[in-house]
Structure 1
Amino acid sequence: MERAQLAAEIYNTAHLTGEFKLRSGKTSDQYFDKYLFESDPTLLAAIAEQLAPLIPDGTEVLAGLEMGGVPVATALSLRTGIPVVFVRKKAKEYGTCKLAEGINVAGKRVCVIEDVVTTGGQILLSVEDLRQYGAQVESVISVIEREEAGRSNLENAGLQFRSLYRMEQLLPL
């Protein structure tokens, strides 16, 4: 699927109209439901195909952030053959008590995968957590860059940030 067509398909699938309460507490007549494009196998495969070239050379592990980054990272892993870990917002309190589920990230070059970046706050927290486990994290890839603040915050923290689309690039067919 071509890039412009994929952008339109993502928009047409995930853009909703109605009455929605936002995280900020405000009400909006429009909403972008990222899980609608992440749960569509055709769109997710096309997204992985377009994202794969953005992965930095030498990446040894993809880190999908809970929850939206997990399906994107999984699709990228299937596309590229690069192993994936699933990163929780906090370590589970039972069983293995792990923060990053999957292969060991110690000493490995890890690229963080996220679906939508707004401020980058959770990414920065997860990067620090991964580094405490010995991961070498220098890059972040997302499907959609919602706000410029996210890019600024990530780059100011020394991370290379690449996104497939900025929010304003997602338009209907």
Structure 2
Amino acid sequence: MTVAALSAGVSRDALVARLAQVACVSGPFALTDGQMLDSYFDEYRLAADPVLLGDVVDAMTALVPEDAEVLAGIELGGVPLVVALSAATGLPAAFLRREPKTYGSKRQVEGAAVEGRRMVLVDDVVRSGVQLLNVARMLRITGAAVVGALCVLERPLGGRLLLDEHGISLGSLLTEADLPASRTTP
């Protein structure tokens, strides 16, 4: 699933062009596994542009499953997206850490209650899907029903298939193929 709906006056092509211009950055970037990229999708540049963030969220609202009860943003890239998406949809937001906090509340999940609720995970980019699957497993242990995931950009590295194998449907605003070829990498 790709761009399903856009706010009035914003075409799909215009949104893709603005995302490519603002958030697709040339330059070295290290992934958590040590792999180096020549360019990357910078979710912070997206989040720092209030007009672009609003247009992205307007388009993403159409991807939120009707039966979703809580939107859950994964640190750190998913947090600004889930805050804006929560405001746009009226659904409560939860904030997920990869690991429990070692001080203070020592929580891994903050914000809205998740136990017994239908959750949709929100992140900036999905590659292999492993990060989303790990968070989904943690939430399921707490009693949440993780039914879907949303992202701005889906890279073709198996994430959709992995999530589907675990009962999590993935809605992506864009795929790598939607971006100009000269600006994309895994």
**Pair in the same fold by TM > 0.5:** yes
2:115 and 2:40 map into 1 onto residues whose CA distance is 39
Which residues of 2 match residues 22-101 of structure 1 at below 5 A?
22-23=30-31, 24-26=34-36, 28=38, 30-101=39-110
Is the alpha carbon distance of 1:11 and 1:104 closer, same or farther for their aligned partners in structure 2, counting shifts above 3 Å?
same
State how many pairs are aligned.
170
Is the alpha carbon distance of 1:2 and 1:81 closer, same or farther for their aligned partners in structure 2, counting shifts above 3 Å?
same
* Structure 2 unaligned blocks of 5 or more: 1-9
- TM-score normalised over the length of structure 2: 0.86
Secondary structure of the structure 1 residue equivalent to 2:25: strand
1:169 and 1:52 map into 2 onto residues whose CA distance is 19
2:136 and 2:53 map into 1 onto residues whose CA distance is 24
* Structure 1 unaligned blocks of 5 or more: none
1:125 and 2:134 matched: yes
The Cα RMSD (Å) is: 1.6
- TM-score normalised over the length of structure 1: 0.92
Question: CA offset at residue 21 of structure 1?
Answer: 4.4
Q: 1:20-65 CA deviation, whole Å, 9 max, x = no partner?
A: 143344462x333222112211111111100001111121100000
User: Quick one: which amino acid aligns to residue 121 of structure 1?
Assistant: V
Contact 1:62 1:83 in 2 (8 A): yes
Secondary structure of the structure 1 residue equivalent to 2:150: strand
Secondary structure of the structure 2 residue equivalent to 1:125: helix
Q: 1:56-104 CA deviation, whole Å, 9 max, x = no partner?
A: 1121100000110111111100101100000000110222211110121
Secondary structure of the structure 2 residue equivalent to 1:86: strand
